[in-house]
Every structure is written in structure tokens, then in C-alpha cells.
Chains A and B, each alone.
Chain A
């Protein structure tokens, strides 16, 4: 029997992206040079809230090298509408607050763009910024969402009657009865901060407008070029064929580059007005004050269980800091609320959610998108209940885990699209069991004791999570083979480092029997794919992967049909190997794919092969049936220095199940990166504001990202429970690492300090904060 065709799925194929990036030959937005290129810089609000009363640009306009100082009124002349229509529909939103392209008459956060200078160089543009006279009448600012909901709170926006921009709830079952009959109840308040996305490449836009053809080309460091195009078409009054948005190499996304920001429109409009191409590259100070963030949630919550530790109900309130605009609806806190359930059976639940407008940068998803907070709350509550019931923390979880025989498990909650939140597959019990075994949970007390003898304080913690991934409604991919034999995949999916190109090449390689490196993938260009969404919700392997898979299958069917006639063999007796279609087991017997493509490309006046439609190509818009749920367990060991409050993570184990693996190496890269991002949320990352809304952490010396020396080595074990919801059986992996990390780290830190009586509730767990907890608990080692 001949060897099967080389299979590409499930193999750690080296990435196709790496070569140019390693040589410094990537092409990021700031690498783009165009003739006549001008440079933009934004004047930004120095106040968190105020009335904009005057802008005097005369001195700035007179500066040599300045080509224009544009304000709201200047840009409005080329726009179709006053505000940028961004709002994602959400019934719970009481008032949609879309931003202006530049502030019109009110500034609502420090860093909000007020004017755009276009000049010969960025340096000259910044010189001009200093010459603009800006008159702002300061107004009281709302910084803390809890204070913002008080009846006498100042209004964060003059155009909204109050600050409660949305109120919603996640609720089912008779939760009050559950509490009435409970053996144990625990209550806790959690003040959770989640840091920002912080891609190392900031945002950036280059826009060129061809006046003759009225053709706008925008190179944009975005996760969502098709959405950016839609926004530009709508706001600039151009037709779809007149706008092209290209996301070239993008230096990380992590959520913020999902959102269409005012600068993307302002730079495009400026290029139209000035008549020259314009580049704006966000500097790091701007990214701290103008790029959307994730920030604060305040939970007041209680949990009830029976005498055996089985959960009966959870109820409470969530106050969410929403920021000054609403580009993302209620998605963030709703993700938090729904992800709280995790892999557990929860009979009754009621969470009242209030979203408060604040005079801060809008809060929108960053990696994990609200889920880490929901998971954190559930896992901390389980730790509290374990303590109350005297159960081991792993055992109380085991008793509440959904079992494999319950799959698919339909929760009483609904997802954002109104469908029942249903876990499609997975073995959560086995996942936790393996994680405990691999991490040596049972042997930990010996390690703890040994460390104590050396004067060190070790703790262990764990957390389970699920993540709804692969969000729809669809993603597009097309596969075409040219007469040259080249296979080209075009897609609406985008790449910010996830390995999208390699992933899609592997999927298509598997079907067409051709090595991935011989497949070209064009992603992130609206001219290459008519439809598309892009990168969010850990979705692209699920949506684009299955789209490419289906398209490749259609192309394969055509190849077999044509070759069947040529080779006088049944399609069942043919195989695709190394770029050729041939009779099974007869190498060299067949024809190159290029020849099939050539025949289907047609020749003037001549007939195509009988019964075959023109072109060796197929396009598919894959619509997932519903979210597919990946899951996992993290086990963390941490050493805490009670004298300084410093935490060091000493061991980290992840068992992860994202269904069928396409490229295990890349999945592991996603998980490790996500975990370290989550460790940042747990221990270091904190965007601080003064009471007047002035940001206090505007550099990487103040706002701390995790570095190599504090990142632990992470051991990963895969389980593969294929998703029944898509032909490839895949689930998302991009965000999952972040989701459990803060919960697992907190559990370990608290465990290390258990003899001191310290309870960890708030995030991040900075050394200063932990010292405060130690001091409050009595401080001294027993």
C-alpha cells in the first residue's frame, strides 16, 4: 500500500511569515513610503472633560512646513454625517454615544483628538501643535464608575441625561431560594482592573486619495480592514469600489485594533482635503491616552453551595467602567457575566450589570475581552467555598464540573447573538485531572514544606475556564489555482502575528496535496476579498479555516472531475500529490494542477472541458452554527516574599483543549503569549488616573508589561475534543491563555500567604498592594 498523501493538519509546520520578519523585511504601516507623503500629528485634549470654546490655529498654520491645521469644521465638509457611526447594536444601551472625527464642542477624555496638523514631517507637525491656541472650559470629570452612578454625580457627557449608559443582567433560576436553602454562603467584593492591549506596534494610518479616479487607499494597522472600509465608505460618501483598505504587516492587535478609531477617518479625510498622501503613526503617549483600553470592573457578589460543596447559586452586581464613547456596546461586561459560569453547573444566577460612562478612553475588549474577570470571580468564589466547606480547592471544582455525558451542554444563558449558550464538546473533568497530575498537585505539600525549610513561601493555585470562540456571523475565503500552478488563498481574515497565513496554507495544503510554502495567502486587503470581518473572538481558525477548507474541497472536486476525463480514471482512483493529480500509487502518471487551471482558464472561442464551470477557483463564506467552546485548566505555583510583597511564578501548567489542532506549535505560541498577558493583568498592568482624569501611567516605565525575566516557563498539554460545529473540528485558541491566568495566580498567591490570613481579591496584585494586605492581616509571619 502506498504511503498516504502528506498530511499537513496537526503538524508544527514552520511559519511562512517568519523569513521576511526575521530579516527586517516586513512591511508595517510606518514602512510605507509614498511620493509627496505628508505627516500628521493630533492635538489632543489636555482635560478629561470640558467645553471646547475656541481653537486658534493661525500661528500653527503660519509655521513653515505646515500644510494644514484641520479641525472638526474642516473635516465635516467632506463627511456625510456628524458622528462616526460605530455603535454595535445592543438593546441594553440607553444612549449610543458615537465619537466625532475630531472634538466638536465637548472633550470627554484626556487624549481625545481635537485638531490634526499635516506637515512636511512629524517633527514639524508636533512643533505646530505647540502653537495652537486651545480654549477649553473644564467640566467635572467622572473617573470612578461607582461614583459616576450616584444620583448627584456630575455628567460625563453633556449630551446624555445621566451616566448609566446601559443596564442589563444575566439571570436564570430562582436564585433567592437557592440562597435561602444553602449550607454555605460567601460574599466578596472584587475590584478588577484589566490592562490594555499594548501591541508593540502602535496604531498607524497612511491614506492616499487619487483625485482623478476618486480612489481612496488606506493602509491601516487594523484587525478589521473590511469594517474600516465600511466606516470610510459611509462617512466619506464614496462608493465601495473607491475605497481600498489594506492591513499590511500588523505588529500585534490584542483587541484595540478591532475598533475603528477617529484617527483612521481623520487621516483619510485629511488626505482628501490636502491633496497629498498623509501618514499618522501613533506614538506611545498617544496609545496610552487615545487607544481604547480595558479597565475597571467592580463586583459585589455572593455564592451559595450545599453541604457537599455543590454550587446552588450566585448573585450580585457588576459596575463596569465604560469610558466616554460606546463603540462596542455591552459586549465586555456581558462576556464577563456569561463567562463566569465557566465549566461548572450553576443552577441559579443573577448578575445586575451597570455600565457607567466615564471621562476616560472607551473601554473595549483586549485579549480575553471581559472573560478573565468573570472567570476570576467564579474561581475566587470557589476558593472561598472550598475554605468554608473544608474541601480541597480541586475537589470542590471537580464536584461542580459539567461531565462529558452532559455534552453538548446547554446553559440557560444566551450569547450576544441571542442563541442559547451551549458548550459543544469537551471533557472538563479529565482536563482538570490531567492538569493536576502534570502539575503534581498531590505532591505540592512536600514541595511547600521543603521551601519553608529554606525560608521560602510557596503556594499553588488552579483555575478552570471555557471560552466561546469562533464568533460569526461568517468569514470568507477563496482558493484559486492559476495556470502557473500557484495556489492563492484570499480571505477576509487578518493577521497580527497569529500565523493566519500559515494556518490557512496548511488547511488548503491538506486538501490539495501541495506543500504550504507553495501556497500564497492574501489577507487583510479589501480588494482581494469582497467580504470579510477579521480578527476578534479567537475566531479565524474556526471561521476562515473552515471557509478555506470548504473552498479547497470545491477546487479539489473540479480537479478530480477534469483529471478523471483526462486520465480515464474514476475520481476515486485519483490522488493529489505534490501539486499534481495522478492515479493513486502511480507517481508521475498525472498532470500538474497548473495544467488543469490552464484548461479551465479557457482559450478564446474554444470549449472548456465538458461539464466543468470556468476557472479553477472557489469561494466560501463560512457561517458557524454557533460559538465553539474551548476549555482548559491552569495550575500555578508561586513564591511570595512576605517581606517585600514580591511574587515570582515558579511553575505553570496548562492543559488546553481547542479541538483539533492545525499547528500545535502555533497553538502553544498563542497559549503561552496569552498566559503571560494574563500574568500581566494579575501582577503588573495598571492604568492609573488622578481624580481629575489625568492619566498617570503614560510610559512603559510606569505601566509595566511582563518581561522575559518574570514570565515563567509554561508547560502545555493538549487535549483534542473536536468541535461538532465545523468540518475541521477546530476551536479558537487566541485568547484562552489570558482567561484563567489571573484567577490561577491569585489562588496561588493567596495559598502561599494562607498562614498570614491574607485574602486576595483585587487585581492587579502589585507588591505594594500585597504588602498592604499583609500589614492589614497582622503582617508578621506566624
Chain B
């Protein structure tokens, strides 16, 4: 008898419910139950970073997060990054401008990582080595990273930071809900 659990979470601002097997990971929930296939799965052991989403505003490997662990949480995926009116987020637009993507498979995870970085920097500038370390947890086999670096620097060092598209945990650190 397969155990299933009810869960409820917010995905890109909309409340969703699901009945899930405990072993279903968040990536598979998003992709195959909710049809949000922009979150990609590359390794299922937490190293490649393609499946990175924002969980309560902080990056998480959705392949290492069981869906049930996200019960009650707010998730932002790549589909929720551009403006509802269709305009690309500045990080997305910069990636196109600087040829920061080729096959595009790792791109959603990289965008989520850069969004968190932008939020954490809060307008402070970042140098290239620090930027490269900041997304060293996202593997890209196509670009050699240079276009991503150029895109990120152009946005992160442009001036005031863009607001992050989802709420952050409170800075006092109440931790996970």
C-alpha cells in the first residue's frame, strides 16, 4: 500500500495542493505533477545545480528535497521569475545579451542562484572571483561560464539590486517553517 500525504504549498505565488508519495522529490512534483518543467534535473545527487529553486526565498536543490518537506513553504521556480507582463528579469535579459546560455539546460538553476546572490548582496558590488565562487555549485558544460559571469556582473554591479521575486526568511533566522 503506497503511503500518500496531502500537502499544500505556494508555487510562484499560487497556492497548490497535492497528494504525494513521501519519496517524491520536489523537482518531480513541480515538473510532473504541476507541469512546471522549467526546473531541470541533471544529477539527482545535488551536485549539478540544474534543479535549484527558491524555497522560502533561499536556494535549494529540489532533487534533494522531498516534496513533503516543502509542505507549507513558498517555492519560486524559473517560470515565476519574469514579470507577469512578460518582461524578462534583468538577470535573464543579461544572460541573453552576454550569451550566458547555450543549450539552456542548466540555465534555470543558474538564474535562481544569481537571484539569491543579488538579494544577499543587497546592492553591494561583487568582484569576479567572488562571483565565480558564488555559482560554483552550478555546472554548465556549454558556456565555459564566461557569458554567465559577464551577465551577472553587468546586473549585480549596475547599481541598486532588483527585488528578489519571493519573500526571504527573516534575517533574525527563525529558520525553516
Contact = CB atoms under 8 A, between A and B. Distances in A.
Interface string A224-259: 000000000000000000000000011110100000
A200 B42 contact: yes
B104 A30 contact: no
Given A18-B96, A26-B38, A713-B128, A252 B144 contact: no
B42 A201 contact: yes
B77 interface: yes
A168 B82 CA distance: 56
B143 A669 contact: yes
A contact patch SS: loop
Nearest to B97: A14
Interface stretch (B146-154, B155-163, B168-176): B146-154
A28 B82 CA distance: 20
B105 A283 contact: no
A254 B48 CA distance: 17
A23 B45 contact: no
A139 interface: no
A199 B50 CA distance: 12
A673 B141 contact: yes
Contacts of A699: 43, 45, 47
Contact of A22 (B32, B37, B103, B111): B111
Task: Give the size category of B's interface with A.
Answer: 35 or more
Contact of B104 (A26, A701, A705, A708): A26
Contacts of A405: none
A672 B141 contact: no
Contacts of B88: 19, 22-23
A121 B41 CA distance: 16
Nearest to A666: B99
Interface stretch (B54-62, B66-74, B118-126, B130-138): B130-138
Contact of A23 (B38, B40, B140, B141): B38
Nearest to B95: A22
Interface string A26-60: 11101101000000000000000000000000000
Nearest to A678: B144
A758 B127 CA distance: 34
Interface in A664-712: 665-666, 668-669, 672-677, 699-701, 705-711
A284 B105 contact: no
Nearest to A26: B104
A18 B104 contact: yes
A226 B47 CA distance: 34
Interface string A176-204: 00000000000000000000011111100
A281 B105 CA distance: 15
A699 B47 CA distance: 8
A14 B96 CA distance: 7
Interface residues of A, number: 58
A17 interface: yes
Contacts of B42: 200-202, 251, 284
Contact of A24 (B24, B79, B103): B79
A281 B27 CA distance: 14
A673 B42 CA distance: 18
**Residue among A250, A281, A497, A675 with the highest chain B CB neighbour number at 10 A:** A497
Nearest to B111: A22
A708 B106 CA distance: 13
Contacts of B81: 23-24
Given A14-B97, A18-B96, A281-B41, 7 more contacts: A19-B96, A22-B107, A23-B38, A23-B78, A27-B37, A497-B103, A674-B144
15 contacts: A21-B103, A21-B107, A23-B92, A31-B31, A31-B37, A33-B35, A199-B103, A199-B141, A202-B42, A251-B103, A669-B99, A669-B144, A672-B144, A672-B145, A711-B146
Interface of A: 14-15, 17-19, 21-28, 30-31, 33, 123, 197-202, 249-252, 254, 281, 283-284, 496-499, 665-666, 668-669, 672-677, 699-701, 705-711, 713-714, 737
